[in-house]
Amino acid sequence: MTPNLRGTLRSFAIIASMAAAPAAAEPTLYTGATIIDGTGAPARAGQDILVEGERIVAIGAAGSLTPAASARRVDLAGRFVIPGLIDSHVHLATPPNRMRAEAILRRQLYGGVTAVRDMADDLRSVGELSRGSLVGEIPAPDIYYAALMAGPSFFADPRVVAVSRGFTPGTAPWMQAIDKKTDLRTAVTLARGTSASAIKIYANLPAERVAAITAEAHRQKLMIWAHSAVFPARPAEVIAAGVDSVSHVCYLGYEAQPQMLAAYEDRTPVKDELLAPSGDDPVVARLFDAMRKKGTILDATGSLFVKFEAERKADPKAKPLRCTGARTIRLTQQAWRAGLPISTGTDFTNKAGDAWPEVHAELRYLAHDVGMPPLAVIHSATLVGARAAGQDKDMGSIEAGKLANFVVLTADPLADIDNIEHIDMTVKRGREYRRADYVAPTGKELGDEN
């Protein structure tokens, strides 16, 4: 078989997998499932779910619902149903590459992911991907995304050029340099015009500017997703500003340092010796107490640090990460003991040979490394993720009135979180995507970017 013929057949297979997802125009009754609803409540066996269009209209004990006579019935006896997973930290367009992004999104959807937070990219590209997902043109999770704001010195970063071609760095509406002269009302309005759900406060901003951006964004009904340390703004100052979520639990360790790093570009690791050698660290405990009182969500991205530390051990020339894997685990454990809501963000991309989406690694991290029970891990990966994206009224749990976003499993994820990879199908906005129809990304699609 020639390479061109193989490529043509592969294209047909992808198109066929998309066509296999009906728009669910007729009512569908899913019967006899065990539901793990994402709220943290215990599993309920023998449940029926009635879906009409994009929404769940009723849930009840098996046989208790009375759908229209025309309703399609799907027997889920022996199956387990959880809400669609949410990856709260992805990057889909740095730089824009439509083929690569669609391959990543396809792997996510067929792996049980029904929504993602894109944490700052070229929003021209991300907006089109979001539209394609929403109307069912491409097999993909729903995408909620952020416009970025940072101090002017950050905009020498080569990634800025990659995501804002056609604009002087720092002037694109989705990638703005902010200083004390910036009219924040105009800056936030420009960000809103990109259809972003949030502003991501990234780097190189003092505490007073972080607070001012946050206040104006909230006034204009945009969320704030921030790095947990903005450099030179300390974690305590970022949290005090009232941001909605903070990313990278590792960065919280900088709070213990007498002098904060002046800029994001300084990659000096957290000084582990300044944190408690065992038990809960008192400095970080104060941060967690403030986050709990304000309702701040922690986008831990813990598996990122564990994964890449392991890879760096094989390369003595590699620069160290900001935290060790062990410290990252301990900080996440402390956050869990403190009662913080933890979402499941990743911030990395698996290679083509990996059949499953990245967020599965974060679920395993929370269960196996941090020690959270599977029921709590599923809550983090669903309802907490929906809250992080500002979408918990519509998704994140299996409830009447919410979007029909759920995953059908053939094995119990409460017995073993690894059973998340026993997927029969993903349902997103009432459309069914069966795992048997999945077409894995190729090396050509994904390339070598990360």
- The rounded distance, in Å, linking the Cα atoms of 148 and 142 is 20
pLDDT for position 283: 98
Contact between 399 and 434 under an 8 Å Cβ cutoff? The reply is no
Per-residue model confidence as pLDDT tens digits over 41-58:
999 999 999 999 999 999
pLDDT for position 447: 87
What residue ranges of the chain have pLDDT lower than 50? 1-9, 11-22
pLDDT for position 449: 56
pLDDT for position 311: 85
Averaged pLDDT of the chain: 94
pLDDT for position 1: 46
pLDDT for position 312: 84
Q: Long-range CB contacts (< 8 A, 24+ apart) of 272-277?
A: 272/323, 272/324, 272/327, 275/327
pLDDT for position 24: 52
Contact between 398 and 37 under an 8 Å Cβ cutoff? The reply is yes
pLDDT for position 102: 98
pLDDT for position 71: 95
pLDDT for position 450: 52
